[in-house]
Structure 1
Amino acid sequence: MNKLGGSSVNKMDRKTIERNRRILMKDLFFKLTSLIPPQHSKPAKELLSQLDQLDQAANYIKQLGERIGELKRRKRLLALRTADETNNSINNSVIGLKLPILKFTDLGCSFEVVLISGHKKKFMLYQVISILEDGGSEVVTVSLSNIGDNVFLILHAQVKVCRVGMDTSGIFQRLQALIS
């Protein structure tokens, strides 16, 4: 009796599980077909079989994937083109100037040195720092950037002893000699 009672309960459980699975699949199918815009379904959705509607959904998803790939490719191309245009505009604006460029700004007890060098004339960062330190200053910050073929170097330095000061014209002349 246990076997018969147990098997009938088992059959009921299987039937319930299968019914719930079918209900869930129908719900998922209707959600899927509702996501497809009407312009992408060829004949009316009501006239197509479920298999045809699933095929349309799969084709629509493939089209979206291809479109996403194409848009990502175009985005990369635009980003590269924008970066190239930015580099070209910077290079063109610097090309008009005679390189290397030295700009020395005295701010009292501190100063700023801006050096822009092309690929033809190279100098080492330690050489610039040693000239500044030999002149009685201490380098506080250094910023070095390579943009295109140009090297941009910005140094901020301050006088070690503000009351004594320093010879800024001597430092400027030594830097000029280094980059010339």
Structure 2
Amino acid sequence: MDQNPNSTKADRKTIEKNRRNQMKALYSQLTSLVPHQAPRVLQNIPFTPFLEMISVSDQLEGATNYIKKLQVNLEKMKLKKKCLMGVGVSANSNSSSNNGGAKLQNVDVRVKGSALEVVLITGLINCQFMFSETIRVIHEEGADVVSASFSLQDNTVFHTIHSKIGDCGQEYVATRISERLRKFVV
């Protein structure tokens, strides 16, 4: 076989040139997908093409950090979605509470004239279901929900529901709601 050393050298150069062009195109595509944030030093300089001043390795590191941040945000969103959908959150999830989303339930019913206040304390596992059932019980007993709010602390959800009871039989309705909710929570 007759191989010319100059042709193999030219082939290697062409292959390397094509590889570099392909990598350059991939870097360009990657940097176009990642949001650009200029370093503070370059933000004050007008008309500075700051991406040209940042090394490729720094651009790759920035893209890697951005992707990792997106993954963390995605996991947080999935956890929040599970909570809002009423699906259980496992105790080994990335929650920072000591009860790990355990089943914590308490209900307190207070009557003030024709106003009824229900304070419901639940864990993350059953927050949506317990809230919906409490609203259902209040409506079934003939009370009108005026407002409802909640707050979240660690893995505990505090619901406060304000409702209005009709004029006749206020005490009876309040007692009945209280009994049904206590049976439901236990």
Q: TM-score range by the shorter chain?
A: 0.3 to 0.5
TM-score, structure 2 as length reference: 0.41
TM-score, structure 1 as length reference: 0.42
Structure with larger Rg = 1
